[in-house]
Every structure is written in structure tokens, then in C-alpha cells.
Amino acid sequence: MDMIKHLAVSLDDILDWCRKNSINAEDGFERYFNLLARLMEHQIRLDIPILTVYLLPDTQNPTDHQISFFEHLADFFENLSHMQLISGQKIKISIFGKWYKLPGKAIEAMKKVIDETKDYDSFFTNFCINYDGQEEIVDACKLIAKQVELGKLDAEMITKETIKENIYSSYFLAPDAILIYGERKLTGILLWDSNGARVIFTDKSFVDFEDRDLERLNLQSLR
């Protein structure tokens, strides 16, 4: 039985869940980020080397609630810097997407934890923030086009591997499985690398996360 080496998890919109369940957004945010920390604990417990979490889609014009979400996001990353789990298990934190364009203090908190964990290499936890899977491929194409323009790459030599080398997750294995919370639809997480991955729809919100969501995954064969 093959065990999962890279698990990708796509989270749903917490605000949608709050509206449907008449829950205060602040309470929903607190539960959401507590569960996110628990998800990271399960990565270690189940010995999954790479975990990638699609946390926040591309956000051009944030609403008041989304700005409040960003504040909780900043607190989450600030807390990561103090989590014994991170230093004890040597978890390297990476962030994919245009996270550096977010408003408020979130950027500094993210920079801090990225810098503090840059030399860790036992486990890898990646967050897709202000991220769009198609935009990731577009950005890779721009980098390749620049290499061709500078004469560093022959256009006829461009291959699938060339694209892989220029996407955000270039140095990670492709995901074995993608776990999707919320609606039964693809979200574009790790779009280039998702070919061949097993896609599992949970048919529930991440706010209803249960330990067995991941335990079931790791007990199943990938072939």
C-alpha cells in the first residue's frame, strides 16, 4: 500500500458557512484557524511529508468581513512562530500566490514565519494565499518567455518539465490526493500538478472537519 507523500487540501469559504448557519463571523474565523492548526498536527501524526492548503483565493476587492479574516490570518501566522510543533518537527512553511499584496499586518507575520523556518526540512507545509491556479501557470509562462527573450532557453526545448521548474511549487512532488471541502467542484489548487491526483470531495465545510477525514485517506491505497 502506497502512503501519501503530498496531500493538498482545498478549504471552503468560511463566510458562506457562517451565513448559512447564522454564526457570527468572528466566531467562525476562530474555529476555522483552530482547525487549521489541528490539520497541521495531523500531517505530523500521519507522517505526511508535504501538506498544501488552499486557504484564500485571489482577492481583488476585499469586503469588511474579508479584512477581518486577514487580521485572523495575521494572528494565525504570528502564532505559528511560537508553536512548538513547528520548531520541534522542523516544519518548513512556504506560501504560494500573491500573498505579498494582502492588506494589513498579515504580510509581516508571513514573512517572519517563512524566514524562521527556511532551514527546516523534515516536513513541509505550504499555504496557497491570494492564489489562482491558472495565474500560477501564466506566471510560469512569463518566466519562461523571459528566459527565451534573454537567449537562455531555446523555445523548441520547452517541455512539461520546463513548466514544472517555473511554477510556485517547482521543488515539490505533485500531490497524490486532493481533499476538497465545500462545493463539489475543482478549485484550481496546484492546477499544473493535479493531473493524476486522486480527488476526494468531503461534501461538508472545513468547519466540520473531523480527525477521520485524513485517517480514511491514509488507510486507502493510492493505486
pLDDT in tens, 18-38: 888 888 888 999 999 999 999
pLDDT (mean) for 150-166: 95
Measured between alpha carbons, how far is 188 from 100 in angstroms, rounded to an integer?
20
For residues 84 and 38, the answer to whether their CB atoms sit within 8 Å is no
- Supply the pLDDT for residue 215: 74
**Lowest-confidence pick of 32-41, 89-98, 199-208, 212-221:** 212-221
Cell numbers standing for residue 166: 517555473
Q: Which residues pair with 92 in a beta bridge?
A: 124
Quick one: pLDDT at residue 147? 96
Distance of alpha carbon 206 from alpha carbon 32, whole angstroms: 7
When pLDDT is cut at 50, 70 and 90, the band that residue 13 belongs to is: confident
Total Cβ atoms within 10 A of residue 204: 14
Choices 3.40.50.720, 3.40.1180.10, 1.10.3720.10, 3.50.50.60: CATH for 6-132+173-215? 3.40.1180.10
In angstroms, the CA 14 to CA 70 distance is 12
- Can you tell me which residue has the cell 500573498? 99
- The identity of residue 121, as a single letter, is D
Residue 14 — pLDDT band, cuts 50, 70, 90?
A: confident
- What average pLDDT does the chain have? 90
What average pLDDT does this structure show over 1-29?
87
Residue with cell 512553511: 93
pTM assigned to the model: 0.92
Using pLDDT thresholds of 50, 70 and 90, give the confidence band for residue 219. Answer: very low
**Angstrom distance (rounded) from CA 208 to CA 22:** 15
Q: What residue segments make up the domains of the chain, in order of their start? A: 6-132+173-215
Cα(106)–Cα(177) distance, rounded to whole angstroms?
A: 29
Cβ–Cβ under 8 Å, residues 154 and 148: yes
Local structure of residue 190 (DSSP, 8 states): T
The pLDDT score that the predictor gives to residue 105 is 86
CA separation for the pair 192, 52 (Å, rounded):
14
pLDDT at 1 over 50: no
pLDDT in tens, 44-86: 999 999 999 999 776 655 666 777 888 899 999 999 988 999 9
| pLDDT tens readout for residues 99-150 | 998 877 889 999 999 999 999 999 999 999 999 999 999 999 999 999 999 9
Q: Which of 68, 33, 65 is nearest to 209 (CA)?
A: 33
C-alpha distances (whole Å) from 201 to each of 39, 126, 186, 187 are 17, 20, 9, 11
Q: What is the pLDDT of residue 56?
A: 79
Cα–Cα distance, 169 to 126 (Å, whole number): 9
